[in-house]
Amino acid sequence: MTHTLVYPISSMHTPTGHLAIGGCDVVELVEAFGTPLVIYDEESIRDQCRRYMEAFRQHTDDFEVIYASKAFSSLAIDQLVLEEGLSIDVSSGGEYHIARAAGFPGERIFFHGNNKTEDELKYALSGGVGFVVVDSFQELALLEELSAERGRSRQRILLRITPGIEAHTHSYIQTGQIDSKFGFGLQDGVALTAIRRALAAPHLDLVGLHAHIGSQIFQLDGFRRAIEILVKLIGQAHDELGFECRYLNIGGGLGIRYTEEDTPSSIGDYVTVKVEGVREEMAALGLPMPRVLIEPGRSIVGKAGVTAYRVGTIKEIPGVRTYVSVDGGMSDNIRPMLYDAHYQGLLANKVEAPADTTVTVAGKHCESGDILMRDTLIAKPEPGDILVMAATGAYCYAMGSNYNGSTRPAVVLVKNGRARLIIERETYADLVAKHHPLREQGEA
């Protein structure tokens, strides 16, 4: 089929003209689980994990692929990536909790965040978190204090460095530039000072450095420049402070295809640029090769997931446009509104019909900006059709909300004709489960 570029790898057409994913007819899935429904293809996720692991093995034995679970954090998917041999990046106490509940051993967990609270740090330390990626001087001091109180072995840490690079991506998801809330900058020797202080902290073990320059990046040159800058700092810290960099974590960021026009780099090329970049730069300074770590999120789960909606109201404004409204929107996918992200979709019950109708797909929320796809081509829609949006596996459910009293969708994982419910749909009762009324109903 023509859609495989943006849809999960197991996508097929059924003899009845429906879309099937993981051997499951999407029309039957929504009958069983309702809409909106987030469908993840297990094979696609495993395939991406294996591509990363395989690509690394071509270059080195000393590496770690760390799943950035902010892209989609759930028990089942954390377990799946653990089975595939990945480590995990958590960006909060909550994601840490989910990773632990999924069975991740502490030493495989990297704890991130520019404002980790004392409670979060204590929780992670008490669970034996492997690595804390320290983001600020304040955190460095606090972590030293907390590790000293615990009195166990020294807590392993990395320092997050902001290499001063503006990646080619949306400004909201650039993170490597000087003007950033993240990490230690290189200007005025800030990063070097951080390394000095970390080395001097008796209860911390500074094992290496980290940098993440941004997300949804297609051009690899930014990663190469970040490595040059990081290794220069490593060389300086080695000469001046005797710092030995054993771990170099160069973040995530590989872009994916949301529409057929997108042209992301391959996992192979991305890994080559990162590993060989580190090798070349370290060798040029006569320093040993560190363990190379990367943190992909979007490229692990993005294309594996789709969202199925039911078409409701269709409004034709003659000479202007046709709005096709679906039963979800900005509460399950904020990305079009937040980043002007473009998506592609199809009608799962009409996959053989020509995609010849230009429509604008709107959500059901009380905002004119709640538009999922603008001027996109699908088969002629009718109320009741099942519209599937491609590549919604990363940062969609994860950034979901209860806006307008929406209930978060159900999430299923499909494989070989079997669908497993991995997150239940929220209910109306869930919406009030944490609320306390002013008075009970019927009370005077």
Q: Is 222 in the site for ligand LLP (CB under 6 A)?
A: no
**Strand 87-90 relative to strand 247-249: parallel, antiparallel, unpaired?**
unpaired
3-state DSSP assignment of residue 338: helix
Q: Quick check: 68 binds ligand LLP (CB under 6 A)?
A: yes
22 binds ligand LLP (CB under 6 A): no
According to the binding rule CB under 6 A, does residue 112 interact with ligand LLP?
yes
Q: Which helix (H) or strand (E) holds 30?
A: helix 26-33
Q: How far is the CB of 372 from ligand LLP (least distance, A)?
A: 14
Q: Which of 20, 29, 45, 71 binds ligand LLP (CB under 6 A)?
A: 71
- Check residue 337 for interaction with ligand LLP (CB under 6 A): no
Distances in Å between the alpha carbon of 240 and those of 192, 196, 229, 233, 244? 9, 9, 17, 10, 11
Residue type, 83: E
Contact with ligand LLP (CB under 6 A) among 208, 251, 328, 329: 251
Closest by Cα among 324, 392, 394 to 364: 324
301 part of the interface to ligand LLP, by CB under 6 A? no
User: In which order are the strands placed within the sheet that holds 24-25?
Assistant: 12-13, 19-21, 24-25
Q: Is 366 a catalytic residue?
A: yes
Query: What distance in Å separates the CA atoms of residue 311 and residue 362, rounded to the nearest whole number?
Result: 10
Q: Is 176 in the site for ligand LLP (CB under 6 A)?
A: no
Strand partners, 142: none
Residues binding ligand LLP: number (CB under 6 A): 22
Nearer to ligand LLP, 29 or 254 (CB): 254
Asked if 295 interacts with ligand LLP (CB under 6 A), we say yes
Answer yes or no whether residue 215 interacts with ligand LLP by CB under 6 A: yes
Look up residue 146 and give its two tokens: 């907390």
Contact between 274 and ligand LLP by CB under 6 A: the answer reads: no
- Contact segment (CB under 6 A) with ligand LLP among 65-73, 120-128, 198-206, 385-393 equals 65-73
The two structure tokens encoding residue 130: 């492997």
Residue 253 binding ligand LLP, by CB under 6 A: yes
Region 378-407 residues binding ligand LLP, contact defined as CB under 6 A: 395
Q: Please state, in angstroms and rounded to a whole number, the distance separating the CA atoms of residues 236 and 87.
A: 29
**Piece of 30-38, 183-191, 296-304, 408-416 that binds ligand LLP (CB under 6 A):** 296-304
Listing DSSP states for 111-166 in one string gives: E--TT--HHHHHHHHHTT-SEEEE-SHHHHHHHHHHHHHHTSSPEEEEEEEE----
Question: Catalytic residue numbers?
Answer: 366
* Binding residues for ligand LLP (CB under 6 A): 68, 70-71, 89, 112, 173, 175, 212, 215-216, 251-254, 295-299, 335, 339, 395
